[in-house]
Homo-oligomer: A and B are copies of this chain.
Amino acid sequence: MATRTAAQRRAEARAEYNAFLAACPSQQLLARVSGKWVTLVLSALGSGPDCDGDPRPMRYSELGRVLAGVSPKMLSQTLRSLERDGLISRTATATVPVTVTYELTDLGLSLHQTVRQLKRWSETHQDEVAAHRAAFDAARGEDPVPRGGAQPEAVP
């Protein structure tokens, strides 16, 4: 029969939607960039260790020092995924001990520029957001007036 429950209809819709989400370039980019260390690696390679210089290649251990507290696993994983997407290039020199450097590609550099735009927005508006957030929290804490939805019941 053609009758479906709401849950079934949602499940079907979700199945279709997954294809859309998977195909949607901006969602993919967000998934790539939203990793905890991705933007930090990008910044380090794009603006030097001091975050306000020129792009330059860096070694694995140097990145590990700049991104304080990163575990070897996450650093490896992040670098590998960025390399996979052609955003950074990896160069191994057969010295002893082996020397490996990472560097932004042109593609990675262009992404870094775009991310800087986002960074600029957040720097410009961070206090606005903070103010809204504080106001919102204060309103909910001190004046819990019902806003149409259910409100947590006060002590009887």
State the A residues within 8 Å of B (CB).
10-11, 13-18, 25-31, 33-34, 39, 67-69, 71, 83-87, 90, 92, 94, 98, 100, 107, 110-111, 114-115, 117-119, 121-123, 125-126, 128-129, 131-133, 135-137, 147-148
**Contact at B29–A30, with CB atoms within 8 Å?**
no
Q: Are B86 and A110 in contact (CB under 8 A)?
A: no
A17 to chain B: which residues have CB within 8 Å?
67-69
Write out the residue numbers on chain B whose beta carbons fall within 8 Å of the beta carbon of A111.
121, 125
In the complex, 30 of the A-B residue pairs with CB atoms within 8 angstroms, ordered by the A residue number, are: A10-B68, A11-B69, A13-B68, A13-B69, A15-B69, A16-B68, A17-B69, A18-B69, A25-B119, A26-B39, A26-B122, A26-B123, A28-B122, A29-B119, A29-B122, A30-B34, A30-B39, A83-B136, A84-B137, A85-B129, A85-B132, A86-B128, A87-B129, A100-B148, A107-B129, A110-B121, A114-B117, A114-B118, A117-B117, A117-B118
